[in-house]
Amino acid sequence: MSNRLPQGMAEATRLTSAGKLAEATALIQRLLQGGDIPEPATSSGASASTSAGYPTIIDVEPIVLDDTDPQPAPTAKPTPEARQDSGFTGKFHPKPRTGLAETLRDLAARAKQPAGFDIGGLDILNGLKGFDGLKGLDGLNGITGLRPALDPLPEGATFETATFTNAAGSRDYKLYVPANRTGQPMPLIVMLHGCTQSPDDFAAGTRMNALAEEHGCLIVYPAQPSSANAQKCWNWFSPNDQSRDQGEPSLIAGITRQIINDHPVDAARVYVAGLSAGGAAAAIMGTAYPDLYAAVGVHSGLPVGAARDIGSAFAAMRQGGAGSAQSTRPIPTIVFHGDQDFTVNLRNGDAVIAQSKASATGLRSTIEIGQAQAPGGHSYSRAIHTDASGKALFEQWTIQGAGHAWAGGSPSGSYTDPRGPDASREMLRFFSDHQL
């Protein structure tokens, strides 16, 4: 391989890190078309590290391409009191560290590519895996700040924003009503996004709206605003947000009931699921409202009561937390967790299942081993806990090699891993077997 491409990628990385996205995109275009590479700018205080004569390529921080959501200006270091009052802002679900490959892939996708050039297949990038400093090639999909690529709405479907308000405050939400409806009562699935995400982002990444068309169900995405938590995390660790008819649980339950009242919903088939902080919040909702939700899906989340403040939240995330709450009935629960999740310890998935089935008796457990069908798919183990009739009440999917990301999700959204088993489809399959 000639020196031109590695050197060009190093320069594209430098431009991206400096926020010069237009220049980086233009350089990608020149690279793809065989053009020359400009000399990189240098400063008197900078030193270039090299490997085999090439500049070292480093991972770049997330870039923001949305002018409506600029990076915040630097502020003075907050006092301990201010940090305590600001909500949980400390990396429960950190912003994605997009690998160089993902950054360049996105830039190349925005450039005019020569016919037959397969940037999606990594024809060029795969040839550079051994290049010094090229890390994050298999990182999470999506770049912070990009608007999610939602599929066009089918004719007759709607995806609109509404608001619910009660004594605890107000929350916006987006409701997907499928074109595929017969007028009969439909199931409702409540989807709780992770930190830094939005309803549109979560919908794009999980592909739940497309599945709603297949199965004829309603999907609602409550939105956590930055005014409630600086990173848009659901406050699962706060004592005021862990109980029935208080704080955020009361708002999520209120949204659920509002949709049941306003739309043709089968109240016996209402479910709640979430990712990361949203997964922890979904576990809370199932425990606090066993009369409202027939089953729960927890992806990369934590058990109820694993933390009571920010300090214990970090400890539970890092080491695994033991739940301190229990529902009045066994809550059918499906759990997904990657065994390489370094944001939320895998032990938390075990704790969620243990908490959900604590009051169940006579369970029979089996373990299945499988491989995701996606290209380069992760292998996984699936523990199934059935009652005396053979009905699966609890499922725990442990995904080998997966990190903190929605399994089988679309790269159109953030925190997704397309190589995993399809968590969205499996959750809907599991939900369909349960009703109140």
Does residue 89 lie within any of the structural domains? no
Query: pTM for the complete prediction?
Result: 0.70
What pLDDT score does 183 carry?
Answer: 84
Strand partners, 366: 384
Q: In degrees, to the nearest 5, what angle opens at C-alpha 105 toward C-alphas 104 and 110? A: 95
Check: CB of residue 125 under 8 Å from CB of residue 101: yes
* Structure-token pair, residue 177: 């009503």
pLDDT at 110 > cutoff 80: no
* CA–CA separation, 68 and 239 (whole Å): 34
* Structure-token pair, residue 31: 């690279």
**Same domain for 166 and 17:** no
**Same domain for 310 and 224:** yes
Check: CB of residue 137 under 8 Å from CB of residue 129: yes
Last residue of a domain, one of 113, 128, 143: 128
Q: Per-residue pLDDT tens for 348-378?
A: 999 999 999 988 989 999 999 999 998 999 9
Does residue 151 lie within any of the structural domains? no
**Same domain for 188 and 116:** no
pLDDT at 45 > cutoff 80: no
What pLDDT score does 8 carry?
Answer: 65
Of the candidates 285, 252, 244, the residue with the CA atom closest to the CA atom of residue 169: 252
**Same domain for 171 and 102:** no
What pLDDT score does 14 carry?
Answer: 64
Q: Per-residue pLDDT tens for 331-341?
A: 999 999 999 99
Residue 244 Cα distances to 199, 249, 279, 310, angstroms: 23, 6, 17, 21
Does residue 85 lie within any of the structural domains? no
| 250 DSSP 8-state letter | H
- Mention every residue, 6+ apart, whose C-beta is less than 8 A from residue 228: 87, 169, 235, 248
* CA–CA separation, 427 and 327 (whole Å): 21
**Same domain for 387 and 332:** yes
**Same domain for 176 and 288:** yes
What pLDDT score does 37 carry?
Answer: 55
**Same domain for 120 and 191:** no
Count of CB atoms within 10 A of residue 94's CB?
Answer: 13
* CA–CA separation, 379 and 344 (whole Å): 20
Does residue 48 lie within any of the structural domains? yes
Does residue 93 lie within any of the structural domains? no
- The percentage of residues in the chain with a pLDDT greater than 70, rounded to a whole number, is 66
Does residue 106 lie within any of the structural domains? yes
Residue type, 67: D
Residue 352 Cα distances to 117, 241, 326, angstroms: 45, 18, 11
* CA–CA separation, 270 and 417 (whole Å): 27
Task: Identify the helix (H) or strand (E) that includes residue 356.
Answer: helix 347-356
Last residue of a domain, one of 106, 128, 150: 128
Residue 222: phi and psi, rounded to 5, are -65, 145
Number of separate domains in the chain:
2
State which residues form the domain around 14: 4-63+98-128
Residue 154: phi and psi, rounded to 5, are -65, 150
Does residue 90 lie within any of the structural domains? no
- Mention every residue, 6+ apart, whose C-beta is less than 8 A from residue 383: 353, 365, 366, 367, 395, 396, 398
Does residue 423 lie within any of the structural domains? yes
Q: Per-residue pLDDT tens for 53-91?
A: 333 222 333 323 233 333 334 444 444 333 333 333 333
**Same domain for 191 and 105:** no
Confidence of residue 271 (pLDDT cuts 50, 70, 90): very high
What pLDDT score does 135 carry?
Answer: 28
**Same domain for 248 and 122:** no
**Same domain for 164 and 118:** no
**Same domain for 113 and 236:** no
Last residue of a domain, one of 128, 145, 176: 128
**Same domain for 375 and 322:** yes
* CA–CA separation, 211 and 217 (whole Å): 8
| 113 DSSP 8-state letter | P
Q: The domain that contains 261 carries what CATH number? A: 3.40.50.1820
